[in-house]
Amino acid sequence: MEIRTVGIVGAGQMGNGLAHVFALSGYDVLLNDISQEALDQGLKTIRKNMDRQVSRNKIAEAARDGALARIRTTLHLKELGATDLVVEAATERETVKAAIFEDLQPHLKPETILTSNTSSISITRLASRTDRPERFMGLHFMNPVPVMQLVELIRGIATDDTSYRTVLGVVESLGKTAASAEDFPAFIVNRILLPMINEAVYTLYEGVGSVQSIDVALKLGAAHPMGPLELADFIGLDTCLAIMNVLYDGLADTKYRPCPLLTKYVEAGWLGRKTGRGFYDYRGEVPVPTR
């Protein structure tokens, strides 16, 4: 199957990045969200990021203008039914994702492939709630999408070879590198990354080190480009907690128990960069540790 049109559900941090890379690679993109404000902000972010690429000679002005012209927006989810490939990039809550696929299902073309950008939720379980589990799979991009090279491809138990090969071809056409993962909680990247972040939060919780010392230690001692707490703020502490809960519930191993301090930050609404406070306070000119 040839993919020409892509429907993206969610215009937030991941969704606008997806629209950016798909449009830049020549696909016609239909971007959906539940509010016009979110769509407008998504388009603003895409233009800003493409302008940055132009200024750094990563892309030509003509490529930017052509890509922007290929992105349309809609508040009506059903309009995505006419696309060849749907990528769901809504919040990391299974009930939300399942409801989106349920609402979209009556409007889909028979051949449309459904994918989820979930970072941890069972692809098999999501697929089972649709009319096309054989044409459903995980398509997990890394954040920020225009910059990060990796895409995890996750087959559900029913995903057929044709759908897998088609989606693999799409990933390659974007200039990305695919890593295939089995459908187990959090797949590959987050199965390894999030327990490390959670352990860093435990290290803070137990008073072994401060926010600053923990991040400096991993940056200088393990050559990580970002410290684990800084990275958690970048990902979003609510997303970190959601993934740890998926691991804990799905694998029933106490080593995946979310740190109580992570839960407390989320309960406070201190979710990281997107809310202005997390393990760092971003409301001033320079981020300041909150603990």
Over pLDDT 90: what percentage of the chain?
A: 97
Q: Which domain holds residue 23?
A: 5-181
140 catalytically annotated: yes
Catalytic, out of 16, 20, 92, 152: 152
Residues 97 and 221 in one domain: no
- Residues 23 and 150: their CA atoms lie apart, in Å, by 18
Q: What is the CATH number of the domain that holds 256?
A: 1.10.1040.10
pLDDT in tens, 232-253: 999 999 999 999 999 999 999 9
Q: Are residues 70 and 196 in the same domain?
A: no
- Domain final residue pick, 150, 181, 212: 181
Catalytic residue among 117, 119, 120, 198: 119
In angstroms, rounded to a whole number, what is the distance separating the alpha carbons of residues 159 and 146? 27
pTM of the model: 0.88
117 is catalytic: no
Q: Which of 140, 163, 198, 230 is catalytic?
A: 140
User: Are the CB atoms for 70 and 27 separated by under 8 Å?
Assistant: yes
Residues 284, 214 within the same domain: yes
**Does the pLDDT at position 91 exceed 90?**
no
Q: How many residues does the chain have?
A: 291
| 35 and 89 co-located in one domain | yes
Same structural domain for residues 150 and 28? yes
Does pLDDT of 27 surpass 90?
A: yes
Distance CA 251, CA 253 (A): 5
Number of domains in the chain: 2
Q: What is the pLDDT of residues 125-150, one digit of tens each?
A: 999 999 999 999 999 999 899 999 99
Which pLDDT score is estimated for 1?
A: 78
